[in-house]
Amino acid sequence: MALQIGQKAPDFKLNSTSGQILNMSENLVGKAFILYFYPKDFTPGCTAEACEFRDQFEAFRNLDVPVYGVSRDDIPTHKKFKKAYKLPFELLSDQDGKVCKSYDALIPLIKMPKRVTYLIDNKHQIAGIFSDMFESKGHIESMLGKLKKSTTIK
């Protein structure tokens, strides 16, 4: 079932490129954040999307909204990807795909993550959704637009 705006975001606990485990209900209490799902490190569309988030990262930082990228790649691959493209945000590994599935971000037959971005507010409710497998730039523009207009995110 697809997640809807206003719905409680599913909790997650994933390994990150920082070496820490990021648990939404423990580490992000009272914090709004961006959670973007993407198919695979080092592929053209995913690289373009990650670089777009990198290039717009200052805007998210100025709004005090961390960005987290999620795919099924392992942490060593994520670390190489992060280093190669100088990504200033954490990448999270969902190797078994359970978090992708809980966020309706898994293509059923091939079990690959879809390109979908969520804005999660400070009460951990879905405040924005952008889903488009082929338009990486739109994800960032959509989220920044929602953040700048919102009075309830923080």
The angle at the Cα of 151, spanning 31 to 26, to the nearest 5 degrees, equals 10
- Reported in sequence order, the residue ranges of the chain that DSSP labels E, i.e. its strands, are 13-16, 21-23, 33-37, 67-71, 90-93, 106-107, 112-113, 116-120, 126-131
Instruction: Report, as residue numbers or ranges, the catalytic residues.
Output: 46
Whole-angstrom distance, CA of residue 125 vs CA of residue 116:
16
